[in-house]
């Protein structure tokens, strides 16, 4: 799940929690919305931590050695 999927989960959870007044027997729609928002936030945190680790620039593995020009004998 990428960053877009996490944002969609947060948006759907917020809509279920704050913008609906549905009543379903046996299902608390507000709680489902809160759970979706929490899962989305955890996904965003995980995605950003992984993306931050990938951005680390490693130094070149072989050192650059500059040679002096050779003089003819």
| Cα–Cα distance for residue pair 14/24, rounded to 1 Å | 18
Q: What digits encode the pLDDT tens for the residues 4-50?
A: 999 999 999 999 999 988 888 999 999 999 999 999 999 999 998 88
- Confidence at residue 56, expressed as pLDDT on a 0 to 100 scale: 59
Query: Residue 59 above 70 pLDDT?
Result: no
In this structure, is the dihedral angle defined by the CA atoms of residues 36, 42, 45 and 46, taken in order, positive or negative? negative
Residue with the larger pLDDT of the pair 16 and 56: 16
Q: How many angstroms separate the CA atoms of 21 and 44, rounded?
A: 28
Find out whether 40 and 14 touch, Cβ atoms under 8 Å.
no
| Pick from 35, 31, 37: nearest CA to 14 | 37
State residue 31's pLDDT score.
94
């Amino acid at each position: 799940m990428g960053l877009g999927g996490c944002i969609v989960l947060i948006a759907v959870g917020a809509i279920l929690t704050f913008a609906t007044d549905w009543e379903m027997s046996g299902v608390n729609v507000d709680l489902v919305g809160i759970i979706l928002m929490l899962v989305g936030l955890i996904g965003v945190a995980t995605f950003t931590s992984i993306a931050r680790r990938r951005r680390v620039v490693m130094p070149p593995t072989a050192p650059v050695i500059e040679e002096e020009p050779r003089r003819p004998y």
